[in-house]
Amino acid sequence: MPLVALTGGIASGKSTIASLLADRGAVIVDADAIVREVQAPGSPVLADIEREFGADVIADDGSLDRPALGAMVFGHPERLAALNALVHPAVRAESQRRFSAAFDDDPDAVVVYDVPLLAEARAGDAWDTVIVAHAPAEVRVRRLVDNRGSSEADARARVGSQASDEERLALADVVIDTSSTMDATRRQVDELWARLMSRG
């Protein structure tokens, strides 16, 4: 059954779509959760990050100080690239392990990789379907301000630091427009689910 990538910019509604797909029976593999796991205290990845960026990125409890690391890499493409070179191979290996485990457990499973940075990573995996959660940049800025308490300047910087809408949409086999109502999003997910089931 399908191996599906689900991506979208910050505040695009991607997590909502992942939850709706899970409700319908999909196995969700969460890239962000895997990132946190491979950077756990005592991990080789965290040790590599400390060597690359210094002890200031390690909190008192031995965990990664994400705000401190973010401040070092945000707006600095070369530092971000160095970080990604340390983290992405471990995330990719663990993701592949989880895909295989899901299909071993149920060969008919629909496995959805919830991955925010698919466009940025230029991932070359052979996805059966790429789903893009889409809302215009202005809508996403407003959601960050209204729902997450971001300042407008910070919201615009975060949206602007990611791949453009055009770059993400160029990857899409299916676009789910989340800029309208929740009911409209649900209807689009129902249509997507029917399409995924028909591939079985």
- Mean pLDDT calculated for residue range 152-175: 88
C-alpha dihedral, 75 to 77 to 79 to 84, nearest 10°: 120
pLDDT tens-digit map of 118-144: 876 655 567 899 999 999 999 999 999
pLDDT for residue 48: 97
**Rounded to whole angstroms, how far apart are CA atoms 36 and 63?**
10
Residue 163 tokens read as: 């791949």
Residue 186 tokens read as: 């649900």
Question: Collapsing DSSP states into helix, strand and coil, what is residue 149?
Answer: coil
Would you say 199 and 151 are in contact if contact means Cβ atoms under 8 Å apart? no
- In what side-by-side order are the strands of the sheet with 111-114? 27-30, 111-114, 3-8, 129-134, 174-177
Q: Which residues of 165-181 are buried (b: 16+ CB within 10 A; e: fewer)?
A: beebeebbebebebeee
pLDDT tens-digit map of 76-121: 889 988 998 999 999 999 999 999 999 999 999 999 999 987 876 6
**Rounded to whole angstroms, how far apart are CA atoms 90 and 93?**
5
**Rounded to whole angstroms, how far apart are CA atoms 56 and 157?**
24
Fold (topology level) of 1-26+110-200: Rossmann fold (3.40.50)
- Which percentage of the chain shows pLDDT scores above 90? 74
Q: Maximum Cα–Cα distance for the chain, whole Å?
A: 52
**Rounded to whole angstroms, how far apart are CA atoms 57 and 36?**
14
**Rounded to whole angstroms, how far apart are CA atoms 192 and 186?**
10
According to DSSP, the residues that pair with 5 across neighbouring strands are 113, 130
pLDDT tens-digit map of 41-77: 999 999 999 999 999 999 999 999 999 998 898 878 8
**pTM for the whole structure:** 0.88
Fold (topology level) of 33-107: Rossmann fold (3.40.50)
Return residue ranges of the chain for CATH 3.40.50.300: 1-26+110-200, 33-107
